[in-house]
Amino acid sequence: MWRRAAVAAGRGLRGLPGRRWRSGAGSPERAAAERAPRIYTRTGDSGFSSTFTGERRPKGDRIFEALGATDELSSAIGLAGEFSSEKGHTFVDQLHKVQCMLQDVGSNLATPLSSAREAHRKRTSFSEKPVLELEQWIDSYSEQLPPLRAFILPSGGRSSAALHFSRAVCRRAERCVVPLVQAGEADPNVAKYLNRLSDYLFVLARYAAMKEGKEEKIYIKPEP
């Protein structure tokens, strides 16, 4: 899956600058369509997909479950980023960086260590540096927030609510990744990154609500 996408992207970058079109050779539009890579390949129709190492595994394999959850997480963060951008939040660039890091997370997950050669491991290794960066961001925002005295419900305006939703998706992605780490198929730093990322998204949701002057709804125990 991931290798196929990379190959398709590589084909898409190879153009023919300066080519002249001769009479009878066909239209530029038709030639461009012939050069463009197809989005569909039909290679997954039998219910199997490929890892970066070339393995064919069932689409229900836990590796693809983790990849799918990570993809959903990036999409959720993208939505939160759009809402936050509309409000002029300065942390939007951080969210974009997180989305880029999630691509690296996916590359590591798509390279099961049990079948990876040394060259594969070097290309898709995941270091602790992004984890430490998230911890710095968390500390920076936490210092600006009021004390947490009650259980906060996802709320606080569109930016905050979307960040809370992203946090929940992140927790699910982490639950999908942990078994892979425990089985020795993925780098432990990937699980650490997702763990810190959910904390970052929670703190950021509170920060967004505070900056927008929105009320955070709290849990109130119903009367018996």
* 83 or 11: which leads in pLDDT: 83
Question: For residue 31, what pLDDT is reported?
Answer: 58
What integer pLDDT is reported at residue 60 of this predicted model?
82
Q: What is the pLDDT of residue 49?
A: 82
Residue 69, Ramachandran bin (φ over 0: left; ψ between -120 and 50: alpha; else beta): alpha
List the single range of 52-61, 90-99, 147-156, 167-176 with lowest mean pLDDT.
52-61
Task: Give helix then strand counts, H and E, for the chain.
Answer: 8, 2
Say yes or no to pLDDT of 203 above 90. yes
Structure tokens at 120: 């594969």
pLDDT of residue 99: 98
Question: What is the model's pLDDT at position 144?
Answer: 96
d(CA 17, CA 64): 38
Q: Which is higher by pLDDT, 118 or 85?
A: 85
For residue 145, which amino acid is it?
L
Distances (CA, A) of 222 to 148, 219: 21, 9
Q: Note the pTM of the prediction, 2 decimals.
A: 0.82
Q: Compute the distance between CA of residue 168 and CA of residue 76 in angstroms, rounded to an integer.
A: 10
Closest CA to 177 of 162, 196, 159, 200: 196
Is 108 within 8 Å of 187 (Cβ atoms)? yes
Q: Where residue 33 falls among pLDDT bands split at 50, 70, 90?
A: low
pLDDT of residue 118: 83
How many C-beta atoms surround the C-beta of residue 166 within 10 A?
Answer: 29
> Cα-flanking dihedrals φ and ψ of residue 167, to 5°?
-60, -40
Q: Residue 30's pLDDT band (boundaries 50, 70, 90)?
A: low
**pLDDT at position 117, please?**
83
pLDDT of 1 above 50? no
- In whole angstroms, give the CA distance from residue 80 to residue 171: 16
| Per-residue pLDDT band at 32 (split at 50, 70, 90) | low
Spatial CB neighbours of 207, under 8 Å, sequence gap ≥ 6:
91, 141, 144, 145
- Give the residue, 44 or 83, on which the prediction is more confident: 83
Query: Does position 149 have pLDDT exceeding 60, yes or no?
Result: yes
Query: Residue 38 above 70 pLDDT?
Result: yes
Query: 149-159: string of b/e by CB count within 10 Å (b at 16+)?
Result: eeebebebbbb
Rounded CA-CA distance 51/48 in Å is: 10
Cα–Cα distance measured from residue 38 to residue 9, given in angstroms and rounded to the nearest whole number:
11
| Predicted pLDDT at 119 | 82
Q: Band the pLDDT of 5: cuts 50, 70, 90.
A: very low
| Closest among 138, 141, 170, 158 to 74, alpha carbons compared | 170
The angle subtended at Cα 87 by Cα 85 and Cα 93, nearest 5°, is 30
